[in-house]
Every structure is written in structure tokens, then in C-alpha cells.
Structure 1
């Protein structure tokens, strides 16, 4: 899959409520949880697909306004074996094509030799353009022989990052914009009204269809925010679950602070936890350019831009 011009268009700023690669939601904290199933629930009934399309299009149109930066860590928690923590930084914005995200993941921290010589961190750099024409570009800080960052083939979206079950596919979430879907109806999940959709990969996306048969998503009705994703393998078996667990208050807005990724076959888990969020930051243009992938964001002053402190977890 070639890289489309979305990586080169000027950035635009809009007032949006769902951000980046689909994981970051802004929520009003005054919402009241329902204590039981609602008589309005329609899951399993013959529901209007036109209504479903309207709900889905609203979800696709939302996102965080302006540029934002999220320091994070991947906490890799295998069912058997030691827990490993891998830090990183995510910087996001919006384009006319959809959310655009730069991510640096420090696979190996910097160190100093016995002689006092600095050993630079080994950083995996990603540039993810979501939308109808979803693309991913990657480069590695330790690969000095590479002249330019390279597009990531769709079949490589499913390789675990840093030995975890967290993948480019999970970060990019291209299924948010897949056109072939079924609206399954409304249900009550975790005491909240929730819309359920099944989305199918495009016929031409052979690299994805070799791994994925369908993705089921759960959208909070009140906020149109994603709260659960179920990924089914090529044989139709549930292979992975992504669950939105918590969010923090930053500058009066709720920003997701934890997503758990669970491998349903091995029971291994990876936790994506935001450690240092900042909204409305100033980001140089090169951060969102392909050529900018030859430079680290992680470990630079840009990765430590200060924003409003998180006030509490929800």
C-alpha cells in the first residue's frame, strides 16, 4: 500500500471530541450511570442501518481540537514471565484526511558505558494517518543505513511492538473508517447505554483480511466515545480485546489514561497508560512530515512540553 498525500497536506484545527487513533475521548463527568438494562435496548433486533450509519459518522467526525502530546508507557504483562515497561511519546493533530499521529517508542533506553560514552536510546518511530486512506510509515533510530522512512505493509500491522500484543493495527485503528458494517443495535454495558457495530475489512485490503475477519466496536451512546474493541482473526475467532479503562482530567477535559489490550488466546495483557498529557501544545511542522521520522521526538525537550496537570482518574 503506497503512502498517499495525506502526510503532506497542511494541518487544520477543528473543535473535536474523539482524537488521534480512536483511543482518546473527551467526556463530561456529570454523566449518570444506568443501574439496569434499558427498555430502549435493541441488540439482536431488526434495527435501522440508516440510524447506525448516522451514529458511526458522528463517531468518525470527532477528535481532540488542536495539537496534543501524551507521554505514555506500555506495560507488558505476560501470563507467564516478567512484566516489562516501555516508555514513549505520542503527538497528534487533525488533517482534512483524518487524525494524524506521530509516535516514538523507546525499545531500549539510553545508557552510558564504563568510559562515560553515551549509548543512545533505540527508538521506533511511527507516523500514522487514519481515515479512509489509512497509512503507516516507520523508521528506527538505530538504522542509520536507511535513507528514508518506509511505508509499513498492511500485513505487518499485526507484529507486536516491543514483544507485546500491542500493534500498529491497534494504534492506527483503520477499522474506524471501514465502510462495510452492520449496526447490531443498542445495549447496556457497564451500566451505560452503548451502540454495537461489526465492521468488515475492505475486499481490496488483502494484507488485513489475511489476519482479520471482522472487528466489533462498542460506542458510548451519550458521548459517542469508543469504550471496547473486539478483534476477530481470519477464522472468525476472537483474538484480541481492547478495553478503555480510565481517563484523566486535563484542562477541564477528560483524556483517556489507560487502555488494556488482552490476547484472548494466550491471556497475555499489555497496558497502554498515559503518564504525562498536555493539550493545546505547539508542535513544529517537521514532527508530522515523513522526513521528520529521521529525527527523534522521544528524549528531546519536545517530548516534555508541559500542559495542564491531570486532576483525577475516572
Structure 2
């Protein structure tokens, strides 16, 4: 299957430039971790910005091959109070402008009345288009008014999803395409060699520039995946950190299986735990269309799609 057409948000009436693909996959995970720093580390030294840009552009060209499905649990772990979790599903693909994903999160599970009547799950729906100009829309299944797709303005990207510290910003990762970048050099993190970048939001990103001064990105040198990113507020204070803690191999490709999010101010945490995954699915067209935002993926056969076997 070729690349999907990008969805269009009329209130974002602007031309999208052709964007590269966000690197989510890895070739393999068999490398051994090293202990201590490496003599190749250059963080804090003068480094080539041209080399850094080449590394960043190579990363942007990578991606999971084919359409894919990730079934997950979003676990909310506040510093004080009771932890809880909600299930969800992510369907991902590539559009002509960059990574495109549909995310459904079951705010409340389905139930049955005393009379045996089904009460549908309450589902938060997200449609996320990454690229040089990121777009995000949402809808809610539980009210007629909420079923209509609504644009999420960039200043709300950091708002918690379904009451958690996990946000649209963490799922969309628009910073991977921000053009104002600084290569800081190479370092060693958890025994792995990492390229470190500082990425700054574009001036035309609305009030987002009042919330974020930069995102610090750690890319694994060998496997070209995001190991960690850190968000700094307008005063350049670290306010949130997101890191990948584990991977699983699916059809020869590696996808994150455990992602941590930590609010560095409140110390609250959220975990995105992948339960099952399938690469090489064939999702219906409506899944990636604005017109499909009045329908849920969660709780349907689409949420269980498996790899399409070819002869």
C-alpha cells in the first residue's frame, strides 16, 4: 500500500511541505551496553552543526515499514493518590507529509445494564498528523456534540490526555520536525551512545512558544531511535521528561513497549505499556480521515487487526 493522503484541517488553511518520516523503528536490539563514558563523547565540546543536521535528517527519514497497530494500557501514577489505568489502541501509517496516527483511549469501559443492554465505552479519539506543520484533532464518543472533530490548538498539546500526564505532545512529537535545531554532540546514557539535540519551536506555533523554550532530544547513535526527550519551559526549566524503557521485536522491527512520562514539577508519572502489536495491517480508509472521527476504533475489529499475509 502506498502512502495515505494527509488529512486536512480547514482552519489550518496553509500549505504543508513534504516532510520526512519520523523514526520509530529499530533494525535490531542485540547491541551490548557499555559501562561508563566513551572517548568518542563530544557533549560540551565544539561540534559540527552540518554533521548534526545530517544525523537529524537521517533520523527523520526512518520509520516503521507499513501500517501498524499497537494495543496499550495508559497507566496513571500520581505522586499521591490511587493509580489507575485505561486501555487504548493506536493505528499508525505514513501520509504524504509524514507520520499519521489514530489513537483511541477508553475513558470508561463498556458495561451492561441490569436488563442486559450494552453501554458503549466512552472513547477519546485523536487523529495526529506529524510533519513540518503538525495537526491534531480530537472527538469524544459519549456526547453528540463531542463526536464532531475539533482542532487541538498547539497551546493545548501539553494538556494531559484523559486526566493523565501523558499528552498529545508526547504522542505527536512535533519537535522532531522543528527546523531550529542545535546539535550538542554525543554522550553516553545508560551505557548507550547518544546524539543530543536542542530543538526550538517555530515562531509561528502560537502560544506554544510561550510554554516551551526547547526540547532536548536523545537519539541512539547505532539504532537511530528516540531514547529520551526533555521539555523545558519559557524560563528554560525542565518540566517534563519522556523516555523509552523497553522494546519488543515485531516482524523483525522493534517498537517501544514501555514509555515513561514524568512531570518534573509535580513528580506525577504516566506509563504507556504496549500489550500487543502488529505490523503490516491494512486499516480501513476512514481510520485516518477527519470524517471517521465520529466512529471508534477501540472495541471494534479494527482494534484487533493482524498482519496481512502475502503469498
Same-fold call, TM cutoff 0.5? yes
Partner of 1:22: none
- Where do residues 285-304 of structure 1 align in structure 2 (5 Å cutoff)? 285-304=285-304
Partner of 2:281: 281
Partner of 1:228: 228
Q: Give the distance between the partners of 2:168 and 2:288, measured in 1 at CA.
A: 17
- Where do residues 238-277 of structure 1 align in structure 2 (5 Å cutoff)? 238-277=238-277
Q: Give the distance between the partners of 1:4 and 1:97, measured in 2 at CA.
A: 15
Partner of 1:58: 58
Q: Give the distance between the partners of 1:5 and 1:305, measured in 2 at CA.
A: 34
Q: Is the 8 A contact 2:28 2:252 kept in 1?
A: no
Q: Give the distance between the partners of 2:178 and 2:22, measured in 1 at CA.
A: 20
Question: 1:36 Cα deviation (Å)?
Answer: 2.8
Question: 1:146 Cα deviation (Å)?
Answer: 5.0
Q: Is the 8 A contact 1:4 1:135 kept in 2?
A: no
Partner of 2:189: 189
List alignment gaps of at least 5 residues for structure 1.
Answer: 20-24, 309-314
Q: Give the distance between the partners of 2:22 and 2:126, measured in 1 at CA.
A: 23
Q: Is the 8 A contact 1:6 1:129 kept in 2?
A: no
Partner of 2:116: 116
Question: 1:70 Cα deviation (Å)?
Answer: 0.3
Question: 1:267 Cα deviation (Å)?
Answer: 1.0
SS at match of 2:232: strand
Question: 1:123 Cα deviation (Å)?
Answer: 0.4
SS at match of 1:280: strand
Question: 1:145 Cα deviation (Å)?
Answer: 2.7
Structure 1 pair 146/271, CA: closer, same or farther in 2 (3 Å)? closer
Partner of 1:203: 203
Query: What do the CA deviations read for 1:222-279 (whole angstroms, capped 9, x no partner)?
Result: 1111100001112211000001000112122222101000011111110001001001
Q: Give the distance between the partners of 2:282 and 2:22, measured in 1 at CA.
A: 19
Question: 1:26 Cα deviation (Å)?
Answer: 2.1
Question: 1:306 Cα deviation (Å)?
Answer: 3.3
Question: 1:111 Cα deviation (Å)?
Answer: 1.0
Q: Is the 8 A contact 1:17 1:26 kept in 2?
A: no
**Residue 106 (str. 1) matches residue 106 (str. 2):** yes
Q: Give the distance between the partners of 1:29 and 1:289, measured in 2 at CA.
A: 34
Q: Is the 8 A contact 1:180 1:202 kept in 2?
A: yes
Q: Give the distance between the partners of 2:263 and 2:279, measured in 1 at CA.
A: 31
Q: Which structure 1 residue ranges, 4+ long, deviate > 3 Å from structure 2?
A: 1-7
Q: Give the distance between the partners of 1:113 and 1:221, measured in 2 at CA.
A: 54
Give TM-score scaled by structure 2 length.
0.91
Question: 1:67 Cα deviation (Å)?
Answer: 0.5
Q: Give the distance between the partners of 2:147 and 2:257, measured in 1 at CA.
A: 36
Structure 1 pair 183/107, CA: closer, same or farther in 2 (3 Å)? same
Question: 1:18 Cα deviation (Å)?
Answer: 2.3
What count of residue pairs does the alignment treat as equivalent?
Answer: 297
Question: 1:50 Cα deviation (Å)?
Answer: 0.3
Q: Give the distance between the partners of 2:102 and 2:163, measured in 1 at CA.
A: 20
Q: Is the 8 A contact 1:247 1:258 kept in 2?
A: yes
Partner of 1:42: 42
Partner of 2:6: none
Partner of 2:23: 18
Q: Give the distance between the partners of 2:146 and 2:261, measured in 1 at CA.
A: 31
Partner of 2:5: none
Partner of 1:128: 128
Question: 1:155 Cα deviation (Å)?
Answer: 1.4
- Where do residues 71-220 of structure 1 align in structure 2 (5 Å cutoff)? 71-146=71-146, 148-220=148-220
